[in-house]
């Protein structure tokens, strides 16, 4: 099976089943792409029994290939990635995405979540 982000965004239905399924977003960062903001990627995932087995993200502008496999770790251009180990949230950097859904109820939830996050004394 295949699930394509652009197909779903265009209104095609999609149901994740237990069948082996490729999930593909050929222009991950469509809004960035449309506005010529250079951070876009090609994202591919493979799912079996509704569980992700592996994923690959190619960051085109940076020429970086990110890959991860269930139980095997994550890599960037073949080098193993690891979390920073930072324990103090006040020294952390918060990154967020608003998404594209402009439904009033969805916006209300997103802003409420962001308000809670921004009340934490984070580094930036």
User: Is 27 within any annotated ligand binding site?
Assistant: yes
Say how far apart CA 61 and CA 39 lie, in whole Å. 6
Does the annotation list 88 as a binding residue?
no
CA–CA gap between residue 61 and residue 41 (Å, rounded): 8
Write the DSSP assignment of 75-109 as a string of letters: EETTEEP-------GGG--------S---HHHHHH
Q: Which residues are part of a known binding site?
A: 5, 25, 27-28
Q: Which residues are part of a known binding site for Mg(2+)?
A: 5, 25, 27-28
């Amino acid at each position: 099976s295949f699930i394509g982000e652009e197909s779903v965004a265009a209104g095609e239905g999609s149901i994740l089943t237990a069948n082996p399924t490729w999930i593909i977003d050929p222009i991950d960062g469509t809004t960035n792409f449309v506005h010529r903001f250079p951070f876009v990627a090609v994202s591919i995932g493979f799912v079996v029994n509704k569980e992700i087995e592996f994923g690959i993200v190619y960051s085109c502008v940076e020429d970086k290939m990110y890959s991860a496999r269930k139980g095997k770790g994550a890599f960037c251009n073949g080098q193993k990635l690891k979390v920073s180990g930072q324990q103090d949230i006040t020294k952390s950097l918060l990154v967020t995405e608003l998404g594209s859904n402009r439904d009033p109820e969805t916006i209300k939830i997103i802003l409420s979540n962001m308000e809670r996050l921004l009340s934490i004394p984070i580094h930036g």
